[in-house]
Structure 1
Amino acid sequence: MTVPVLDAPALEKLISAAVAAPSVHNTQPWRFHLVPETSVLEVWAVPERALSAIDPEGRALHVSVGAAVLNLRTAARHLGWSPEVRLLPDPAEPDLLAGVQLDSAAVCHAPAVEALYDAIWRRHSIRSPFTGPPVPADVLAELVDAAHAEDAELELPDDAETARLLHLTAEAERRGATDPAQRVESRNWVRQPGASLYGIPTSALGPQDAAGRLPMRDFSALAPERHLAPVPFEERPRIAVLLTHGDHPVDWLHAGLALEHVLLAATVHRVRASLLHQAMEWRFLRWEAREVRHGPAFAQMLIRLGYGPEGAPTPRRPAADVIDS
């Protein structure tokens, strides 16, 4: 097999796929650097795009960058490479979160890769109620396998556990809306349409966000006294819990890889998703989000799954703006 040429058009496709990944508050905390002599595309964190109140340890930043790495790896396979991903490749450079080696050709064409690559451009969070039938068991099993492929676990709680997780989310939402630093930081990332390529556009929030109804976040946090007990959008909401066996930066990156793999696999089956991150932002609530019967593990994200309207994507920066010249 012939190794693809890593020219400007190929590089733009790779970066465009990477930046289509989800990121906390759409901060897009990444930049990319090509090392031509080694054919390594480096993925760097951008510390100034971190959320100091919501994500003081940088865990969500690592998850966001991990999701971008999954998209980058998928696009590289689509273009004909057999990419080798190294996470945290240089201990002396803590902001260098991944290196993707692009010097080997793929040995075969994989239809599953093409399906995931196509899903990159269609995946986005849906914050409105889901109205369709339950997600089939075989699709959920495929999502579990997607998480396993990235050294993570995806648990599918029963109704009682789902109710407990939504109450944890409610408590986290209340804390976030009444904590002065988190309120200001969250509101600062709400953008008017066309005002910025970062942040959450008001058009994507939906009418429920400002009403204090779960499971959606109230990004505006204008009236914390209006926050109510959890009112699920669906009669039987389907929540999945993404976990890792460790809780260090490399585990957070694996969580991001697994998260995006799950989201792309869901998109292939036209399953919509939104991310419930509120409880992950409080250490003791994140610890409570795990299911103790399954042994030691660390919750990294709650994912809400279902069928519903198409919704609108949040804006992304163009590839040229996030790659070092």
Structure 2
Amino acid sequence: MTSYSEADLLRAAGAGIRAPSLLNTQPWLFRLRAGAIEVLADPARRLPVADRAGWAVRLACGAALYNARLALAAAGTPAAVELRPDRSEPDLIARLTPGRAREATYAEVDLFAAIPRRFSNRAPFWPDPVPAETRLRLIDAARSEGAWLDLLVGMTALSGFAEIASSADRVLRRDVRYQSEMAGWTHADAAPDGVPVTAGAPAAEPQDLLPQRAFSDHRRGPGRDYEPEPLIGILGVIGDLPVDQIVAGQALQKVLLTATDAGLATSMLSQPIEVPAARDQLRRALGRSGVPQLALRFGYGHPGRPTPRRDVSEVLLTAEP
């Protein structure tokens, strides 16, 4: 196989649009050019307040890229991937060219099947612990994509993270422009992007360990803790250049799909990453030389449903002549 087809593009983009993104902005585009499938960032969907530097866009596009890779591999047409192949085109995230045709591995088939089932579950998780072998699978998933995942063990580490996350959340809550931007992407009715209020967590209570986005004012029963001892993982990579953030996005998606395949529910906490001082404090607390890119929450929870996505036709670009 020397080039990808329109059918391959649709297959890759159809999987790519199921990736997560900050406030479900879906900041990706796909095109077929010279037989290669290209993933691009959509600058019109970058959050001007929450994502001034484009970190969240690159993370989301990296996740979409991983889904596209899986879709092609599952079809027996795996891709060779070049990240940021043209520095004169900064929105070009990656170029995928056909590799040697082969049958998909069992792992690829399982992760590809998890794509439509993955979603952010912001409801409280059950107290059931995540088994050690599943934790190792999550760590290995990140490592296989060039990232690291530190799972916080013990209340000392967890309380330290909670303090950093809560402090960052307070900073963001005081930013009127930030809160206005978040409200603009929160919808009461069905919409093809943004966050439905029904997908939000119960309103925060003073005793909660972790901060929650205020997507809704739904209250829980009086005296009920959100989660007294959640499993938190910090995903990071060695650097913080744009290409590092794309690598982190691919690792993020593999971790999320691995968790979904293992029957886990997940959600993401970006507050301690969005505030630079909190991010540096988190890095120092972990003792890592690399850079944290996102915090994740794992556990077992009630069934839910993925948030809506735009039609794939809306994210396809016509190749330039």
Q: Structure 2 length as normaliser, TM-score?
A: 0.91
Tell me, yes or no, if structure 1 residue 259 matches structure 2 residue 257. no
Secondary structure of the residue aligned to 1:289 is helix
Q: How does 1:282-293 map to 2 (within 5 A)?
A: 282-292=275-285
Q: How does 1:146-161 map to 2 (within 5 A)?
A: 146-159=141-154, 160-161=156-157
Secondary structure of the residue aligned to 1:302 is strand
Tell me, yes or no, if structure 1 residue 87 matches structure 2 residue 80. no
Name the residue aligned to 1:110: 105
Q: How does 1:226-305 map to 2 (within 5 A)?
A: 233-292=226-285, 294-305=287-298
Among residues 54, 57, 81, which one is paired with 2:50 in the alignment? 54
Name the residue aligned to 1:101: 97
Tell me, yes or no, if structure 1 residue 319 matches structure 2 residue 317. no
The answer for unaligned runs of 5 or more in structure 2 is 218-223
Name the residue aligned to 1:33: 31
Name the residue aligned to 1:308: 301
2:84 touches 2:243 (CA, 8 Å); kept in 1?
Answer: yes
Name the residue aligned to 2:220: none
Sort the Cα spacing of 1:74 and 1:282 in 2 relative to 1 into closer, same or farther, 3 A: same
Sort the Cα spacing of 1:295 and 1:278 in 2 relative to 1 into closer, same or farther, 3 A: closer
Sort the Cα spacing of 1:258 and 1:119 in 2 relative to 1 into closer, same or farther, 3 A: same
Name the residue aligned to 2:192: 197
Structure 2 CA distance, aligned partners of 1:4 and 1:309? Answer: 45
Q: Number of aligned residue pairs: give it.
A: 310
Question: Per-residue displacement from partner, 1:211-267 (whole Å, max 9, x unpaired)?
Answer: 8953421246x9xxxxxxxx9622321000001110110111011001000000001
Secondary structure of the residue aligned to 2:179 is helix
More displaced 10-residue stretch of structure 1: 203-212 or 276-285: 203-212
More displaced 10-residue stretch of structure 1: 18-27 or 184-193: 184-193
1:245 touches 1:298 (CA, 8 Å); kept in 2?
Answer: yes
Name the residue aligned to 1:119: 114
1:255 touches 1:300 (CA, 8 Å); kept in 2?
Answer: yes
Deviation (angstroms), 1:4: 9.5
1:210 touches 1:218 (CA, 8 Å); kept in 2?
Answer: no
Among residues 20, 23, 27, which one is paired with 2:21 in the alignment? 23
More displaced 10-residue stretch of structure 1: 121-130 or 199-208: 199-208
2:6 touches 2:32 (CA, 8 Å); kept in 1?
Answer: no
Q: Structure 1 length as normaliser, TM-score?
A: 0.90
Sort the Cα spacing of 1:275 and 1:173 in 2 relative to 1 into closer, same or farther, 3 A: same
Q: In angstroms, what is the RMSD of aligned CA positions?
A: 2.0
Sort the Cα spacing of 1:177 and 1:295 in 2 relative to 1 into closer, same or farther, 3 A: closer
Tell me, yes or no, if structure 1 residue 165 matches structure 2 residue 158. no
Deviation (angstroms), 1:291: 4.7
Deviation (angstroms), 1:188: 0.8
Structure 1 CA distance, aligned partners of 2:182 and 2:13? Answer: 27
